């Protein structure tokens, strides 16, 4: 094992070499990554900008089930399995032509005849559930909603399985969001 002083000198030498090679633009790309410099005149690479705002996203497969970067946005996956981050204030229930004002989520995001998952003693009971989020299993004819059951005095958040049979059933209604950014 090398003495501490020699190890420090070796590390300093390696750092100096690294700095030098980055300044002169090493051609050994396998060893060193060049840093993007927007001021360099010969730089044809451009940093990608933010994705354009997408309107009228129908959150058919998922809504608000995944953590987002801030409390003002929610996750959303459309029927085509595209993922979005959406401005929560621009999401609504109802139809595509509705608005957050005409069909607010806090009044529209509910499901009927849901079964509580993992709650002892509720196996045979069904609930009206106001949901915070959902993950749809469209091919299986149900969704899993996170929310609270009407009549539960604790208003504890639980998971519920909410089935449907027809396309027009209440449990097959999905959230629309009018201001989203597509995730890559």
Question: Could you read off the pLDDT of 23-32 as tens digits, one per residue?
Answer: 444 444 343 3
**pLDDT value at 3 more than 80:** no
At residue 22 the predicted structure's pLDDT band, cuts being 50, 70 and 90, is very low
Longest pairwise C-alpha distance within the chain? 76
Q: Do the domain assignments include residue 11?
A: yes
Q: Between 30 and 101, whose confidence is greater?
A: 101
**pLDDT value at 11 more than 90:** no
Same domain, 123 and 156: yes
Q: Do the domain assignments include residue 177?
A: yes
Q: Do the domain assignments include residue 2?
A: yes
Using DSSP bridges, classify how beta strands 53-54 and 180-182 pair: parallel, antiparallel or unpaired. Answer: antiparallel
Same domain, 27 and 66: no
Cβ–Cβ under 8 Å, residues 157 and 148: yes
The span from the first CA to the last CA of the chain, in angstroms, equals 47
Mean pLDDT of the chain: 80
Same domain, 67 and 5: no
Domain that holds residue 5: 1-36
Residue in this structure with the two tokens 């009971």, named with its chain if needed: 125
- Residue 69 confidence (pLDDT): 77
Q: Between 142 and 28, whose confidence is greater?
A: 142
**pLDDT value at 51 more than 70:** no
Q: Do the domain assignments include residue 48?
A: no
Cβ partners under 8 Å of residue 155, min gap 6: 148
Query: What is the C-alpha to C-alpha distance for residues 119 and 121, in angstroms, rounded to an integer?
Result: 6
Q: Residues 33-40: what's their mean pLDDT? A: 42
Q: Do the domain assignments include residue 41?
A: no
Q: Which two structure tokens, joined as six digits, stand for 7?
A: 């190890």
Same domain, 117 and 67: yes
Same domain, 11 and 70: no
Number of domain units in the chain:
2
Does the predicted TM-score (pTM) go above 0.85? no
Query: What is the C-alpha to C-alpha distance for residues 175 and 58, in angstroms, rounded to an integer?
Result: 6
Same domain, 32 and 87: no
At residue 156 the predicted structure's pLDDT band, cuts being 50, 70 and 90, is confident
**pLDDT value at 118 more than 90:** no
Q: Residues 155-163: what's their mean pLDDT? A: 92
Same domain, 58 and 8: no
Same domain, 73 and 119: yes
């Amino acid at each position: 094992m090398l003495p501490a002083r020699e190890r420090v000198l070796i590390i300093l030498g390696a750092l100096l070499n690294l700095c030098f090679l980055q300044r002169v633009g090493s051609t050994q790309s396998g060893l060193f990554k060049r840093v993007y410099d927007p001021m360099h005149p010969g730089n044809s690479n451009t940093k990608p900008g933010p994705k354009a705002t997408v309107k009228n996203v129908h959150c058919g497969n998922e809504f608000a089930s995944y953590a987002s970067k801030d409390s003002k946005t929610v996750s959303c996956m459309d029927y085509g399995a595209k993922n979005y981050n959406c401005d929560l204030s621009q999401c609504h229930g109802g139809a595509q032509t509705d608005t957050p004002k005409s069909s607010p989520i806090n009044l529209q995001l509910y499901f009927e005849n849901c079964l509580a998952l993992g709650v002892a003693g509720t196996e045979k009971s069904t609930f009206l559930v106001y949901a915070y989020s959902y993950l749809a299993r469209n091919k299986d004819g149900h969704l899993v909603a996170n929310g609270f059951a009407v009549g539960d005095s604790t208003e504890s958040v639980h998971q519920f399985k909410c089935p449907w049979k027809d396309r027009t059933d209440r449990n097959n209604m999905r959230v629309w969001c009018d201001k989203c950014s597509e995730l890559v």
